[in-house]
Amino acid sequence: MNIRFLGTGFGAPYKNRHQQSILIEVGDYSYLFDAGAPVCDILSFAEYDMSRIKTVFISHLHGDHMNGLNDMINLAEFFNIRCDVYLSEERGIKAFRDYTYMQLGRDSDRVDFKLISEGLFYDDGIIKVTAYQNGHMKGLPSYSFLIEAEGKRIYITNDLSPELCDLPDISPDMLIIEAAHFEAETVISKCNQLKVDKVAFVHVMPPEKYDDLKKCNTNFIPLYPNDGEEYVI
């Protein structure tokens, strides 16, 4: 699996970090996990063939995780995108269907909206995606994702609750965890309890927290990906 960190920022764009979006490539296909803005620009500037994107997964209905989706819908024909978009709530599906109708004057024949359900909800024979509901949205659906392909496992927390009680006892090959809603020591201590080799920190707020994270002792390999960086697992 190839992991491209397209946007590693927190809610607001900040010096060289865009809103959250992570592209996972398996063979000829790619899968977009969250679509923060300006994901279409980022991929276009990199001359990325967006027709490779098979499915988009939106963890929750906060703008910094879905603001880039509008452009993907509007420019689907231009970029030859045909994909399914999984959203965390029915109201999101309705909103994006209405938005599409507003833009095109009809439903899209290229982008299909579907609902995420807890547990294993996606298996196309190439990747499997399991949704774990987390407490970030205080009663509304918000999900972390376990992604399995080619015998490897990646867990993306997306946004969590400030209590950090919604990270299950998992042991993926790579954990991609947010660090906006808790102190550096808290998140490092939690990760130290897991059996995980590599932990990538994204969505770090405030940006000065990178320094705090780097000062902590870890029993895993800590990664601090910048926008545009790629990792192979």
Indicate which single residue of 18, 54, 62, 153 sits in contact with Zn ion (rule: CB under 5 A). 62
Pick between residue 120 and residue 140 the one whose CB is nearest to Zn ion.
140
Q: How many residues belong to the chain?
A: 233
Q: Which is nearer to Zn ion, 54 or 65 (CB)?
A: 65
What are the C-alpha distances in Å from 6 to residues 104, 118, 144, 227? 27, 26, 18, 5
d(CA 58, CA 92): 10
- 34 in contact with Zn ion (CB under 5 A): no
221, two tokens: 């390999």
Rounded least distance, CB 23 to Zn ion, Å: 17
Our CB check for Zn ion shows the closer of 4 and 62 to be 62
Contacting range for Zn ion; rule: CB under 5 A; set: 46-54, 104-112, 152-160, 187-195? 152-160
Q: How far apart are CA 112 and CA 85, in angstroms?
A: 6
How big is the site for Zn ion, counted in residues (CB under 5 A)? 3
CA–CA dist 7, 144 (Å, integer): 17
Closer to Zn ion by Cβ: residue 36 or 172: 36
Helix, strand, or coil here: 33? strand
Of 1, 3, 2, 5, nearest to 228 by C-alpha is 5
Residue from 25, 64, 71, 148 that binds Zn ion (CB under 5 A)? 64
DSSP-assigned letter for residue 126: S
Q: State residue 156 phi and psi, 5-degree precision.
A: -110, 120
In whole angstroms, the minimum distance from the beta carbon of 31 to Zn ion comes to 19
- Among 34, 144, 159, 191, interactor with Zn ion by CB under 5 A: 159
Min CB(232)–Zn ion separation in Å:
26
Task: Give the footprint of Zn ion on this chain (CB under 5 A).
Answer: 62, 64, 159
